[in-house]
């Protein structure tokens, strides 16, 4: 993997773990929360999208709009499952399980659907990252007892990660849609998709904006930033390398859990972190 792509992926991982911590700590959630997030995202990143249109001269055709709409629908499902997981399970359970299952499914999809053939060292690195992520969750039996309701939503979130990663990679790498324009378009279409629900839940929307405005603003800033950095990395390196390397966000989330959420169990976390570092090294050297 080129060092430029690796730097983009690591920055994306940091921002991703940060907005997930904010979401977990936020008292409000659900589709209404992400409808507000989409509004803020669309306004904040509008100047960037306009600049990208002027700089690239890109104008979306019917296929480009269809890809953006598909991404919007997939991301709505992803956010809904992720939020439900956090409402019914712990950050240290839901986040690692979702992020570990996603890249492994993505690699399978990249091999089967796109025809990529990752090097054996990269595959070994992906497995080490996935194994480290699972280890961060602790004993599987204890994990089931502690967060059983969140596990199903975590796995559904992981499935959505695999789907949107393959879908969006095709849009920016195969169809050559500029990442900023593509993601901003998907945000606007996400607004279109979720507006009927938000209009029916306007009291909840007002309550979330009143009580969780700071969380909405942070998620709205960091979520698109982290994903756009990942999309740029996908233009520089194969999907089967980028997707597992993104999961270093689990290590960052583990540090957040240790120092901010006081989750403890340092030996297990250090062991898991070492596995992930070795996995990342395998991907970077492949």
Range of the domain at 213: 3-123+137-243
Q: What is the pLDDT of residue 136?
A: 67
In a domain, 261, yes or no: no
Closest CA to 76 of 32, 43, 41, 109: 32
How many domains are there within the chain?
Answer: 1
Percent of the chain beyond pLDDT 70? 92
Q: What is the pLDDT of residue 110?
A: 75
Measure the CA–CA gap between 48 and 250, rounded to whole angstroms. Answer: 29
More confident residue, 15 or 94: 15
The full DSSP string for 181-208 is HHHHHHHHHHHHHHHHHHHHTHHHHHHH
In a domain, 263, yes or no: no
pLDDT tens for residues 66-125?
A: 999 999 999 999 999 999 988 887 777 788 778 777 766 777 777 887 787 878 887 888
In a domain, 285, yes or no: no
Q: What is the pLDDT of residue 224?
A: 85
Strand positions, DSSP E, the chain = none
Q: What is the pLDDT of residue 67?
A: 96
Contact between 159 and 105 under an 8 Å Cβ cutoff? The reply is yes
Q: What is the pLDDT of residue 137?
A: 61
In a domain, 128, yes or no: no
Q: What is the pLDDT of residue 112?
A: 81
In a domain, 267, yes or no: no
Segment 148-172 shows an average pLDDT of 84
Closest CA to 98 of 77, 69, 121: 77
Predicted confidence band at 188 (pLDDT cuts at 50, 70, 90)?
very high
In a domain, 171, yes or no: yes
Segment 212-238 shows an average pLDDT of 89
Segment 231-257 shows an average pLDDT of 80
Q: What is the pLDDT of residue 144?
A: 55
In a domain, 275, yes or no: no
Helix/strand/coil for 262 = coil
More confident residue, 27 or 185: 185
Average pLDDT taken over every residue of the chain: 84
Whether the full predicted model's pTM is greater than 0.75, yes or no, is yes
More confident residue, 94 or 211: 211
Q: What is the pLDDT of residue 250?
A: 81
Contact between 175 and 64 under an 8 Å Cβ cutoff? The reply is yes
Segment 208-226 shows an average pLDDT of 92
In a domain, 230, yes or no: yes
Q: What is the pLDDT of residue 265?
A: 73
């Amino acid at each position: 993997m080129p060092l430029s792509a690796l730097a983009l992926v690591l920055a994306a991982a940091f921002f991703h773990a940060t907005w997930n911590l904010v979401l977990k700590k936020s008292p409000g959630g659900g589709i209404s929360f992400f409808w507000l997030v989409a509004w803020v995202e669309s306004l904040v990143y509008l100047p960037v999208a306009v600049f990208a249109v002027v700089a690239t001269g890109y104008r979306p055709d019917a296929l480009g709009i269809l890809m953006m709409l598909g991404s919007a629908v997939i991301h709505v499902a992803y956010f809904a499952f992720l939020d439900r997981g956090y409402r019914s399970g712990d950050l240290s359970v839901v986040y690692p399980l979702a992020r570990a299952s996603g890249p492994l499914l993505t690699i399978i999809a990249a091999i089967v659907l796109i025809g990529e053939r990752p090097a054996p060292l990269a595959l070994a690195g992906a497995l080490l990252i996935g194994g480290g992520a699972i280890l961060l969750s602790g004993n599987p039996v204890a994990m089931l007892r502690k967060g059983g309701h969140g596990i199903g939503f975590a796995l559904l979130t992981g499935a959505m990660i695999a789907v949107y990663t393959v879908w969006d990679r095709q849009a920016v790498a195969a169809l050559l849609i500029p990442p900023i324009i593509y993601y901003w378009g998907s945000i606007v279409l996400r607004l279109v998709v979720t507006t009927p629900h938000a209009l029916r839940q306007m009291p909840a929307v007002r309550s979330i904006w009143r009580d969780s405005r700071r969380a909405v603003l942070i998620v709205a800033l960091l979520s698109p930033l982290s994903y756009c950095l990942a999309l740029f990395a996908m233009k520089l390196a194969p999907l089967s390398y980028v997707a597992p390397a993104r999961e270093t966000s689990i290590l960052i989330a583990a540090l957040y859990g240790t120092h901010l959420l006081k989750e403890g169990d340092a030996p297990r976390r250090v062991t898991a972190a070492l596995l992930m570092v070795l996995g990342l090294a395998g991907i970077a050297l492949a």
